[in-house]
Amino acid sequence: MSRDLFQPDILSKDVTEENAFETRINFICADEGAKAASDLRFQEHRLLFVHLLVRALHYGHPTSGISFRPGIPLELVSLILKYAGCALLSKSRSIVAVQFLGCNEERLSGCDATVVVRLPPLDAVGLRRIAHIKLVTLSRDQGWQNDPNSRNYSWFDVGVLQGSQPGGDLRKTNGQPALWMSHLNTIVGGSGFSRHEGRIFAHDHPLWNAAAVGDVIVGRARARFGSQRNATASAAFFVWEYFDPLASVVV
């Protein structure tokens, strides 16, 4: 991890760790569902804030009197960050698939789903450190509907495939396929593609109970009935990980 990412604020004679926290508290408390959470500049500032927080907890405050605060071990700092829900966007685990795909029953010969993006096979570290994931698509439906007030038949789901083979079967959870709705396309969205953000699959979601080492998490485009279409220009999985100071090069 680059020292340059957080060195300036720590070494500046005019900036202390305490007032640096005050100026960056919004980075740790920001709504994870906000679009800013996917912005790389936002994430850099947030990473800087987390490093400052780790240093303050680990080294404490040596000043005697009311401001005295003893340092605590990194193992305990790591637990505090996890229970506080402190997560950062993982550039290495997030993935974008740029392609043009169409999904409807006629094209897929009776199948109503096609995989548009997949994460690499899960490893033990990922299962332990991933805090949550989100599927985001640039997509649209067929652009028309006989009854605009009817049900939307163009959507995306997230599932867990057993093993790393492309044609692997879905895992089972409580006897049902390990598959959950992510989001719908805008109904009668016109001819242009729109950005759609799915739900957040947090660490306490049943998806993570179903997943095992070697499994693959996939995002699927779905459409039902011959007249319905799910056109997908791109799809991405954004992955957030708990910050682990024990795995960081510089704390």
- pLDDT, tens only, 54-88: 888 888 877 766 667 788 888 888 888 888 888 88
Q: What pLDDT is recorded for position 23?
A: 42
Q: What percent of the chain has a predicted confidence (pLDDT) above 90?
A: 24
Instruction: Report the pLDDT value the prediction gives residue 127, as an integer from 0 to 100.
Output: 92
User: How far apart, in whole angstroms, are the C-alpha atoms of residue 154 and residue 223?
Assistant: 5
107 pLDDT more than 60: no
In a domain, 250, yes or no: no
Q: For strands 87-89 and 231-242, give the pairing.
A: antiparallel
CATH code of the domain covering residue 165: 2.60.120
Q: Report yes or no on 52 lying in a domain.
A: yes
* 51 and 112 assigned to the same domain: no
Residues 59 and 153 in one domain: no
Query: Between 146 and 220, where is the model more confident?
Result: 220
Note the pTM of the prediction, 2 decimals: 0.71
Query: Can you read off the two tokens belonging to residue 87?
Result: 């997560």
pLDDT digits (tens, 9 = 90+) for 159-197: 999 986 766 789 988 889 999 999 988 776 566 788 899
Taking all residues of the chain, what is their mean pLDDT, rounded to a whole number? 74
Question: Do 35 and 121 sit in the same domain of this protein?
Answer: no
Q: Is residue 84 part of a domain?
A: no
Q: What is the span of the domain harbouring residue 120?
A: 95-241
In degrees and rounded to multiples of 5, residue 215 shows phi and psi of -75, 165
Q: What is the pLDDT of residue 136?
A: 93
Q: What is residue 70's predicted lDDT score, i.e. its pLDDT?
A: 83
In terms of phi and psi (left: phi > 0; alpha: psi -120 to 50; beta: otherwise), the region of 225 is left
Instruction: Examine residue 87 and state whether it is found in any structural domain, yes or no.
Output: no
One domain for residues 31 and 128 = no
> What pLDDT, in 10s, does the model give residues 211-245?
999 999 999 998 876 667 788 888 999 999 888 77
Tell whether 28 and 141 lie within a shared domain. no
Please check the confidence at residue 121 and state whether its pLDDT lies above 80: yes
State the burial class of residue 78 (Cβ atoms within 10 Å of its Cβ: 0-12, 13-18, 19+): buried
Beta strands of 30-189 (E only): which ranges? 87-89, 95-101, 113-118, 130-140, 154-161, 172-173, 176-177, 179-184
